[in-house]
Structure 1
Amino acid sequence: MTVNLDWENLGFDYMELPYRYDAHWKDGAWDEGGLVQGGSLTLNISSPALHYGQSAFEGLKAYRTKSGAIQLFRPDQNAARLNRSASQLLMPAVPTDQFLAAVKQVVAANAEYVPPYGTGATLYLRPLLIGVGENIGVAPAKEYLFTVFAMPVGAYYKGGMVPTKFMVAETYDRAAHFGTGQSKVGGNYAASLQAGKYAHEHGFGDAIYLDPIEHRYIEEVGSANFFAITKDGRKFVTPKSPSILQSITRRSLMDLATSVCGLAAEETRIPIDGLNDLAEAGACGTAAVITPIQSITYRDHVHQFGDGGVGPITQKLYDTLVGIQNGDVEGPAGWVVTVEA
């Protein structure tokens, strides 16, 4: 059974569901954790998450298949990435088995909110790891909270798989090389708010960041990774940099570009003045899936990709990835995990 919602017109907005999962770390160990009700946390006012940004999170989705089953897409990769982020911020790792159990429990407990197959909506899950407790000095917390909550969502960018215009955030940096840019931590997103606001106010889907040293090479879109197809149709390219998030969607697309499209997949530096060498481009991530990039505005120049529509390789990658996530296409071993609800 599912609740009665307008599934096909959901935005990407918070909705409080009946259950979430909480676990606490203290004295060197995690407790068993379990489901709790409500959407509010009570924290000590001196918690390091509030003052010093000791906060990391993940994003993944649960999908309803045509048969009515519920499945997750590569949740083990989210567990691994959360722990890489935790290590960067001196937080304790969440055991992979506990992470996966927490996600499955939240999905099963809120199964009536997993959108029906074919609506384009999904159940978005947000695992969150934060430093809590009494700690006013600049130092790691002595206690930690791991929580997982969920909500049904529609497309992150309005219209879904619709070509979108982006602009280069020339006067903003998202993250420094060798800082926390490669981790999914709160401070990176706070740093993207100004450029994102400016982009939206000027009619763009989001801002594209250049590298923080030379301001010459493409790094990330504000809320997603960047990829492109070279004009010769032979390569799937995506930025190589120490300050960008290692997207699970991007890594999956690199694998599919090779196995399904017969392309070479390469992480490389992509100069902003080399856009003429690219035939297609897109933004990719768990929330966005794939958003085709119609054009990039850099200084006074607007570079349009092709005829401004969805490129054929981008479309094939999208159809294959979403097909795997929705249970219509068989994916590589281990990519799909079923949830018993």
Structure 2
Amino acid sequence: MAVKKTVKTAKTAKKAEKPAKKTVKSAKKPVKDIKTVKAAAKKTAVKKSAKKNLDWSNLPFSYIKTDKRFVANFRNGEWDKGRLTTDDKVVITECAGVLQYSQSCFEGLKAYTTEDGRIVAFRPDLNAERMERSCRRLEMPVFPKEKFIEAVLSVIKANKSYVPPYGSGATLYVRPYMFGSNAVIGVKPADEYQFRILVTPVGPYFKGGAKPITVRISDMDRAAPHGTGDIKAGLNYAMSLHNIVDAHKNGFSENMYLDPATHTYIEETGGANILFVTKDGRIVTPKSDSILPSITRRSLIYVAESILHIPVE
């Protein structure tokens, strides 16, 4: 199972030095010139891989405008080739389908810098597949999987100076999203759509990073039975805003939702799936048609069962 997609980064200083060494050796340059060539090679390599001057270890989970984003448009029954652009503005009609009937969906994944300096993205192929399910459910055109992956990697590469350094605790958040863009009056799907990908460096989602948080059992529902809880529709998250604001006001980090049909089984939180570890070492995770199929949960279950041989229910 492919877990990571790799984005090519700038050559290392060591590789950049090789041609310089060969030239110096054949010309039998003085020692002073050798040092100058090595310094120039090192300077070039650092320039290519230089990171933005940000306080990486203290980044909030919020938007920071980056250099490039990807944009593709669906018109006359087909997608155009798409392009990278520096323009972060979205211009649509006041009667756009997304504004009138909330026809939109999105995805979220992250890119990281590894210990050896590579930049990797976590399983974008699965995000493409999940977005395809969302699009089909919302009567939106599917953006092809291979083009989705290619676009994700191209945006990361175009903004590699914003990928936080290894060990900082920060990541580059990647947000693909799609919405109905043409004028729609009367409840029906749009005819034109825009698919975009933005990236932004972020710190941990919860303040304090990977530490225990306080949650509450919510008496409200995140999704309706047989509804759209299993897709990543924008409106699903708008419906949960009041409840998460209320939770924060009362000292809780998140809401834990029960199944909407009977309110007797734990399902998920507003922003994440749930996995339980029993006293005897088993992993138990809720199963429901109204839960968003988490890529992180799927990966953890695979590692637990196939690599660590931990029982999963």
- Deviation by residue 1:17-36 (Cα, 9 ceiling, x = unmatched): 11100000111110000101
Which of 124, 132, 152 does residue 103 from structure 1 map onto? Answer: 152
Other-structure match for 1:262? 309
The alignment covers a number of residue pairs equal to 264
SS in 1 for 2:230: coil
Q: Distance in 2 between matches of 1:62 and 1:111?
A: 10
Provide the TM-score with structure 1 as the length reference.
0.76
- Are 1:65 and 1:71, in contact at CA under 8 Å, matched by a contact in 2? yes
* CA contact 1:16–1:38 (8 Å) conserved in 2: no
- Does residue 1:148 correspond to 2:197, yes or no? yes
Gaps of 5+ in 2: 1-49
Query: Partner residue of 1:309?
Result: none
User: C-alpha offsets along residues 68-120 of structure 1, whole Å, 9 cap, x if unaligned?
Assistant: 11111111000000010001100011101110111111111111000001101
Q: Which runs of 5+ in 1 are unaligned?
A: 267-341
Specify the alignment match of 1:253 in structure 2: 300
The within-5 A match list for 1:142-221 is 142-170=191-219, 172-221=220-269
CA contact (8 A) 2:100 2:184 kept: no
Identity of aligned residues (%): 49
Alignment of 1:84 with 2:141, yes or no, is no
Letter in 1 for 2:154: Q
Distance (whole Å) between structure 2 residues aligned to residue 6 and residue 38 of structure 1: 25
What residue in structure 2 maps to residue 123 of structure 1?
172
Give the C-alpha shift of residue 227 in structure 1.
1.0
What letter is aligned with 1:6? D
1:227-306 equivalent positions in 2, closer than 5 A: 227-233=275-281, 235-266=282-313
Are 1:48 and 2:93 an aligned pair?
Answer: no
Equivalent position of 1:224 in the other structure: 272
CA RMSD between the two structures: 0.9
User: Which structure is higher in strand share?
Assistant: 1
TM-score by length of 2: 0.83
Residue 265 of structure 1 and its aligned partner are, at CA, apart by 1.7
Pick one of 59, 75, 78 that aligns with 1:29: 78
> How many angstroms apart in 2 are the aligned matches of 1:16 and 1:33?
20
2:163 matched residue in structure 1: 114
Larger radius of gyration: 2
Alpha-carbon distance between aligned partners in 1 of 2:180 and 2:206, rounded to the nearest angstrom: 31
**Is the partner of 2:135 in helix, strand or coil?**
helix
**Structure 2 counterpart of 1:127, one-letter code:** P
More helix by share: 2
